[in-house]
Amino acid sequence: MGTPLAAALLIAPPSVGPSESPRATGVVTRPGQLAPGKCAGGNRTIAGGGAYRIVGDSDMGHRTLSAIVTVVLVGASNLLGGWTPAMTTLLVIVALDVVSGFVRAAVQKRLSSKESWQGGLRKLLMFVVIALAAQVDSLIGAEPLLRNAVVIFYCVSESLSVLENVAAAGLPVPDVIKDALAQLSSRKAAKGEDA
C-alpha cells in the first residue's frame, strides 16, 4: 500500500482486548507520516513509533449511517410528541397486526402485494394522524391529551384487527369476541355500501 492512499485513511490504535474498541486518533495528512512497515493484521508503523490500525471507509460509512438513523429517529419521536410506553405498545401491536395479516393472507391463499402496500400506507397515515394530534397539543400548550387519546384509539383498533386476523386464519377465538367482530364487520360493510 502506497503512502498517498494511506494519507487519506483514518487511523486508530489497535484494540488491546475484546471489550475495548479502537478510538480514532487522527488523520494521516502528510504522505511522509505513514512509514512503510509490516502489514500483519492491518497494523502499520507510524513514523515516530507505535503501531496503529487503519480504519477504512466502511467504519466511517457505518458511523455516518448510524448518525443519520439516530437523527431521523429522534426527529420522528419529537414530531410524534415524544416516545411513551403507549407509543411502544402501539408499535408492538402494529407489528403484530402486520404479521397476523400476512399469516391470514397465507392461510387463505390471498397474498397480494397491492393490499400489502395499501396496508403499509394506512399504517403510515396512522402515525401522520398521531403527529398531527401531537402538534395540536403543542400549539395549544396542553399536556399531550389529544395525542394520547389518538394513540389509545389506534391501539384498540389495531388490537381488534389482530383478533380479526387470528379468527379469519382459523384459530379458536372465544364466542364473545367472535360476536363482537361480526358486529364490527357488518358495520364496516354497511358503511362501505353507503359510501
- Asked if residue 134 has pLDDT above 50, the reply is yes
Nearest in space to 55 (alpha carbons), one of 24, 30, 15: 24
* Lowest-pLDDT choice from 42-46, 117-121, 186-190, 191-195: 42-46
pLDDT digits (tens, 9 = 90+) for 65-122: 888 989 988 888 888 888 899 999 999 999 999 999 999 999 988 888 888 899 889 9
**Res. 187 pLDDT band, cuts 50 70 90:** confident
Nearest in space to 10 (alpha carbons), one of 62, 82, 84: 62
**Res. 28 pLDDT band, cuts 50 70 90:** very low
Q: Which three cell numbers stand for residue 25?
A: 486518533
* Lowest-pLDDT choice from 101-105, 106-110, 124-128, 177-181: 177-181
* Predicted TM-score of the model (pTM): 0.61
**Cβ 28 vs Cβ 9: under 8 Å:** yes
Average pLDDT over residues 134-139: 92
**Res. 194 pLDDT band, cuts 50 70 90:** low
**Cβ 89 vs Cβ 155: under 8 Å:** yes
pLDDT at position 192 is 64
Q: How far apart are alpha carbons 83 and 79 in whole angstroms?
A: 10
